[in-house]
Amino acid sequence: MQHEVGYDNDSDPMTGVYVESADIDIGDGDQFAFVKKIIPDMAFTVDPTVSNTPAMNIVLKRRNYPGDALVTDSTSQITQTTRFNNVRTRGRQMVLRFESDDDAAALDQKGYKWRLGATRLDIQPSGRR
């Protein structure tokens, strides 16, 4: 028996797929952090029989205090040629969510796999104002 073989959900695209990080903070959350750039480490494997443009979304969320609800600050599309995305957000804790681009054209949602590597953030301490 073969299980999870191929690129798609039978003949349908793989939608609603995501991976979400734990909270990211500076100094155990004692300081606010300012994030201005995301440098993704994503690799796409494309089905050679399909002509498409694979893409994923990186969603940057933040919160200022433990127990607060996460607030989505930005959603950036990542393709095979994306080197970085400029963002601007400030908070005590950040969360990154890597998700399927369910808004893409139907053809672009099928025929590829992705691999997540070591994504980097340009992050620095920020004032408490």
Sign of the torsion angle spanned by Cα atoms 101, 114, 21, 74: negative
Please write the tens of the pLDDT for every residue from 34-86: 999 999 999 998 888 888 888 899 999 999 988 899 999 999 999 999 999 99
Residue carrying structure tokens 């994503």:
42
- Position 17 scores a pLDDT of 87
At 7, is the pLDDT very low, low, confident or very high (cuts 50, 70, 90)?
confident
Beta carbons within 10 angstroms of residue 123's beta carbon: 17
What is the amino acid identity at position 15? T
Residue carrying structure tokens 């205090």:
65
The CA distance from 22 to 20, in Å, is 7
At 128, is the pLDDT very low, low, confident or very high (cuts 50, 70, 90)?
low
**pTM listed for this prediction:** 0.84
> Could you tell me the CA-to-CA distances from 58 to 39, 44, 87, 96 in Å, in that order?
10, 15, 11, 7
